[in-house]
Amino acid sequence: MTLNSTRQVTVRAAALGLCCVALASAPAARAQDKMTAQSLIDRQQILDQITRYYYNFGKVDRQSEESFYAEDGELILGTRHYKGREGIRQAYNRAPAKPPAGTAPAAGAVPAAAAAPPRERTAFNVAIENPLIIVHGDTATSQVIFTEYRQEKVGDPMKMTTQGKEYATWVKVNGQWLYKTRQIVSGSNPPEGWKE
């Protein structure tokens, strides 16, 4: 074998090796092509919304839960479905807006009972873990595991009380990510018909 033919064999072997590396990494490269700077920003904004939503629980002065949802959003808790912002407000036992001052109660309305004395506030925290967020332009899906911790009485240590999963779809409205659907489930299986 001459020096020239040895170089040709070496060049061909190197080219073949590079082709193998390129082919082996093709699926990874295709997946990475879908990851853009905007999709990373969107994923972080959705994670921020989820975090703000869960931090909101247990606060004395909290943001209304329905404000995290699109106008036609839906909250699904087991077999109960709450649709639209008014339905979601009712799911969180928030009273509907009060009628303007000077307005007479509706016919047949029963006067409200005296409010019960406020009970002692104990700590209530919700941790979220393992977020999986997939962005599809102006829509997205997310999955998180949540764990609730509560005190029985002030000064007691926190105890885990509940753990479950949240499956959600998202829509971008005027540059802000809002829940389109939010479904809470227990166990390991996603809700029927779930698609990422």
Q: pLDDT tens across 40-75, in order?
A: 999 999 999 999 999 988 787 889 999 999 999 999
CATH number at residue 131: 3.10.450.50
Torsion of CA 185, 169, 45, 36, to 10 degrees: 120
Number of domains the chain contains: 1
Contact 70, 160 (CB under 8 A): no
136 occurs within a structural domain: yes
17 is a domain residue: no
Residue 192 predicted with pLDDT over 60: yes
In a domain, 60, yes or no: yes
> Has residue 12 been placed in a domain?
no
Query: Do the Cβ atoms of 125 and 118 come closer than 8 Å?
Result: no
Whether 66 maps to a domain, the answer reads: yes
Q: Mean pLDDT score of the chain, rounded to an integer?
A: 78
For residue 166, being part of any structural domain is answered with yes
Residue 155 lies in a domain: yes
Edge-to-edge order in the sheet of strand 80-83: 80-83, 69-77, 176-185, 159-173, 139-150, 124-136
Cα 131 from Cα 45, distance rounded (Å): 13
Q: Which residue has the higher pLDDT, 80 or 11?
A: 80
Give the structural domain span for 56.
Answer: 36-93+120-187
- By CB atoms closer than 10 A (0-12, 13-18, 19+), residue 145 is middle
Q: Is residue 1 part of a domain?
A: no
